[in-house]
Amino acid sequence: MVNLRQNHQKAGAGGFAIRSGVFLVILGLLYGVFQFLEGGNGSGQGTRIVINAPKSDNNSDSTEKSDEYMLHTTNLGYLVRHQYYALSYDEKDEQAEWVSYYISRNRLNHKRAERTNWFEKDPKVKTGSATYKDYKGSGYDKGHLAAAADMAFDKQAMEDCFYMSNMSPQVHNFNGGIWRELEELTRDWGRMYDKVYVVTGPIFEHNLGVIGHQNKVTVPGAYYKIILDIEGKEKKAIGFVIPNEVSNKPLTAYIKSVDEIEEITGIDFFPELEDALEEKLEAKVNQAQWKFDNHLFRIRKEKWNLR
């Protein structure tokens, strides 16, 4: 009886250990699912990521809906959420593969926050973002992907847009020339159409080299920007792919459809849209739906390109 009782006790202890191990495995799996849903490390090809636009802000009014969201598939990086914009950080090239946010008439008409010009590492990039020193002496501008003027409606938004994760090395007369023109035109469309969504990022083809001794930041050969107007009756989308160089061509020379930019970048934009609408908006651009400013084009050629 003594031996039998001892064997029973050993078996009970072993069963407890097995049950404990299974419980820990289940906890680990649940934690992994939780981390994925939270958007922690969304690395890996084809991972789908939800980008939530701000649910509310101090500058909202009845025209600012709270339930809007963007959905893209990440290609290289993992999701980083800031209060007023989101990005997918590409550690290999030390910059965002896309930045997503929206521009609205309400935000643009708000009292402007002071530009900080304080460039700092992004604390939310777990692998470490590029730094100010990576750009120092490189000859390239720290070019905003989410433009500072788009974030001027709020002090926190302005401060956050100067994180180095939102920067990409741009040729000076590109950043201050055609890229500036496109940014200003996009804000004009935000005023004109009440609210537009913006997705922008680098294109890593025909790159111009690498800067930074520590982080090795890729200098992209081109950039894309996509503008989506989904709020009004006339739903529309337009995209641009522009080489990272000075240009004397009009912006219309660089128009691309969303489908074309998806093919170039490998990123799936706006899959949350109803299928028929997504197909219609992404397949081609109706240029007549978008008003271009020839005055901005003349200023760029006569002044901005020469600085």
Q: What is the pLDDT of residue 295?
A: 92
- Is-contact 250 262, C-beta < 8 A? no
Pairing of strands 78-81, 141-144: unpaired
Check residue 186 and give its pLDDT.
95
Which tokens is 265 given? Answer: 């970048």
HSE on the CB side for 44, CA within 13 Å?
8
Residue 72 catalytic? no
Write down the pLDDT at residue 227.
Answer: 95
Predicted confidence (pLDDT) per residue in 71-113, tens digit: 555 556 678 888 889 889 999 999 999 999 999 888 998 888 7
CATH of domain 44-306: 3.40.570.10
The CA distance from 204 to 223, in Å, is 9
What is the structure's pLDDT at 73? Answer: 57
Q: Which two tokens stand for residue 57?
A: 């802000």
Distance in angstroms (rounded) separating the CA atoms of residues 175 and 157: 21
pTM of the model: 0.77
- In the chain, DSSP assigns E strands to 48-52, 69-73, 78-81, 86-90, 95-104, 141-144, 167-170, 195-203, 209-211, 217-219, 222-229, 236-243, 255-256
**Under 8 Å between Cβ of 73 and 269:** no
**Set 8, 72, 110, 144: catalytic member:** 144
Cα gap 33→22, rounded to integer Å: 17
Ranges of residues in the chain with a pLDDT under 50 are 1-14, 16-18, 22-69
Integer angstrom CA distances of residue 231 from 27, 39, 129, 197, 286: 42, 27, 34, 10, 17
**pLDDT tens track for 117-137:** 789 898 998 888 889 899 999
**Those residues with Cβ within 8 angstroms of residue 23's Cβ, 6 or more apart along the chain or in another chain:** none
